[in-house]
Amino acid sequence: MSGWDAAKRRLYEVFGHVERPERVIGCPHCVDPGDELCLLAGPVRSVEAASLARYAAKALNTWGGVTEFRYFLPRLLECAAEDAFTYPDSEIVFGKLASVDWRTWPIDERDAIAGFLNEWWHETLRNYPVRPPVDTVLCSLAATGMDLTPCLSAWSKLDADPAIKHLHDFVLTGLSGSRLTNAFWNRRSSAYQQVLAWVTGGPAAAAVETAFAEQTREPMLELLAAVEPALHPPRENPDRAR
């Protein structure tokens, strides 16, 4: 069993003690009576993503509370990590973890969630292409409130083709000058500043330089060369500064 599969299995095991709710009450203007029946008809693992998506978008706001959210949590995170929802976006689903302050939950639950998040990141770095893309994954992880230092350290190794390809994609689509482009980033958050500092403040450039010295294959060298110019903060125009 892969680390990723084990992390998903662990999440279901740890949250398996949460009792299935009899009802999931929602705002009467947003949710019709009985809308939750398809979500409660069988084991939570078997809930179809298409059925769960509507709840995922409304959870904790206009449909159900923390108790119901904890019951559906393993399936919610699994579907969001596998890009199984047309809507809501993965960043929205993972952001709900921060809203329930999951890092104050019992230690086994915290560990299961943290293990899932970390393995999702490593599974992303191990594979290319992936859905959702690396930009979405990183922003989703940031939305949970977790520390991104281990994620960025792992990416800095650039020790496999997928990691290099992800960096290339991230620079092309997730970065514009000195700004991260994903609309779900909280630009006032420490995570946003951390990622921006990593990608334009030196660490990513140093990682690319090291990878240049170790790489021998032309396609990977071309990708590294393509991203290197963007990995430096733009210099201020001295005339504009006056």
The answer to whether residue 6 is domain-embedded is yes
Residue 178 counted as domain residue: no
Number of domains into which the chain is organized = 1
What is the pLDDT at residue 239?
A: 42
Residue 174 tokens read as 């997730």
Handedness of CA 66, 67, 72, 74 (dihedral sign): positive
CB 220, CB 163: distance < 8 Å: no
Tokens 């930009």 locate to 135
Q: pTM for this structure?
A: 0.93
To the nearest 10°, the Cα dihedral for 157, 83, 87, 178?
10
Count Cβ atoms within 10 A of the Cβ of residue 99 and give its class: 0-12 exposed, 13-18 middle, 19 or more buried.
middle
Domain-located, residue 179: no
Task: Tell me whether residue 70 is in a domain.
Answer: yes
Tell me which residue range forms the domain holding 26.
1-109
* Polymer length of the chain: 242
94 falls within a domain: yes
Q: 190: helix, coil or strand?
A: helix
Q: CA-to-CA distance for 128 and 134, rounded, in angstroms?
A: 9
- Shortest CA distance to 84 belongs to which of 126, 51, 58, 41? 51
| pLDDT per residue of the chain (242 residues) written in tens, 0 to 9 | 899 999 999 999 999 999 999 999 888 888 888 888 899 999 999 999 999 999 999 999 999 999 999 999 999 999 999 999 999 999 999 999 999 999 999 999 999 999 999 999 999 999 999 999 999 999 999 999 999 999 999 999 999 999 999 999 999 999 998 899 999 999 999 999 999 999 999 999 999 999 999 999 999 999 999 999 999 865 554 444 44
Please report the pLDDT score of residue 240 as a whole number: 42
In whole angstroms, what is the distance from residue 27 CA to residue 59 CA? 11
Q: What is the pLDDT of residue 28?
A: 87
pLDDT at 93: 98
* Per-residue pLDDT, 34: 83
Residue 32 domain-assigned (yes or no): yes
Q: Is residue 220 part of a domain?
A: no
What pLDDT, on the 0 to 100 scale, is given for residue 145? 97
Q: Is the peptide bond before 132 cis (omega within 30 degrees of 0)?
A: yes
Do residues 84 and 49 make contact, with C-beta atoms less than 8 angstroms apart?
yes
Note the pLDDT of residue 1: 82
242 part of a folded domain = no
